[in-house]
């Protein structure tokens, strides 16, 4: 029996997206992500007006304090490089970029994460259009 990653690669976009989601879910429970989350917590900070929030964290973009449980972990260098799409990458590449060096992981608040992703997706679409026109 010969094992070929390429041959067995599911090629329906729906399946690929499901696998991408599954890999991301594993990452969300990873030791690496947990460590990045822990690093962003501001020690000994308490907000008397929010006594039930025991852990606070600084967003690496807006620099404001937020309840730690509301923070998200962002890959500064995106998992899928702006000039590429998921289809250009192997699963090994996706996993390697998701489980990146710790310095590439930054805690961000939800609104900042949303804006950063929006900008990245905009850039992605622009590059895709450029590529299409260049062909
Ligand atoms: Zn923020």
Residue-wise pLDDT for 57-66, tens only, equals 999 999 999 9
pLDDT of residue 77: 94
Averaged pLDDT of the chain:
90
- Find the DSSP H helices in the chain: 5-8, 13-28, 31-39, 91-98, 110-134
pLDDT of residue 132: 84
Beta carbons of 62 and 112 less than 8 angstroms apart: yes
What band does 2 get if pLDDT is binned at 50, 70 and 90? Answer: low
d(CA 56, ligand 1 centre) in Å: 13
pLDDT digits (tens, 9 = 90+) for 30-57: 999 999 999 889 999 999 999 999 999 9
7 pLDDT higher than 60: no
d(CA 63, ligand 1 centre) in Å: 6
Tokens representing 55? 């852990």
Work out the average pLDDT over 117-123.
92
Which residues are placed with Cβ below 5 angstroms of ligand 1, an ion? 59, 61-62, 109, 112
Closest C-alpha among 45, 130, 115, 19 to residue 83? 130
d(CA 3, ligand 1 centre) in Å: 45
76 pLDDT higher than 90: yes
d(CA 41, ligand 1 centre) in Å: 14
d(CA 64, ligand 1 centre) in Å: 6
Tokens representing 19? 């696998």
What band does 6 get if pLDDT is binned at 50, 70 and 90? Answer: low
What band does 133 get if pLDDT is binned at 50, 70 and 90? Answer: confident
pLDDT of residue 85: 85
pTM of the model: 0.82
d(CA 100, ligand 1 centre) in Å: 22
pLDDT of residue 21: 94
Beta carbons of 70 and 114 less than 8 angstroms apart: no
């Amino acid at each position: 029996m010969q094992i070929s990653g390429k041959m067995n690669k599911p090629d329906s976009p729906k399946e690929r997206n499901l696998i991408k989601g599954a890999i991301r879910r594993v990452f969300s429970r990873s030791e690496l992500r947990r460590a990045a989350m822990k690093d962003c917590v501001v020690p000994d900070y308490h907000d008397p007006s929010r006594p039930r929030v025991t852990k606070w964290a600084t967003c690496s973009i807006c620099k404001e304090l937020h309840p730690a449980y509301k923070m998200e972990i962002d890959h500064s260098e995106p998992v899928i490089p702006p000039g590429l799409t998921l289809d250009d990458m192997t699963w090994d590449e996706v996993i390697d970029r998701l489980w990146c060096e710790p310095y590439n992981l930054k805690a961000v608040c939800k609104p900042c994460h949303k804006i950063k992703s929006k900008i990245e997706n905009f850039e992605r679409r622009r590059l895709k259009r450029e590529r299409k026109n260049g062909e």
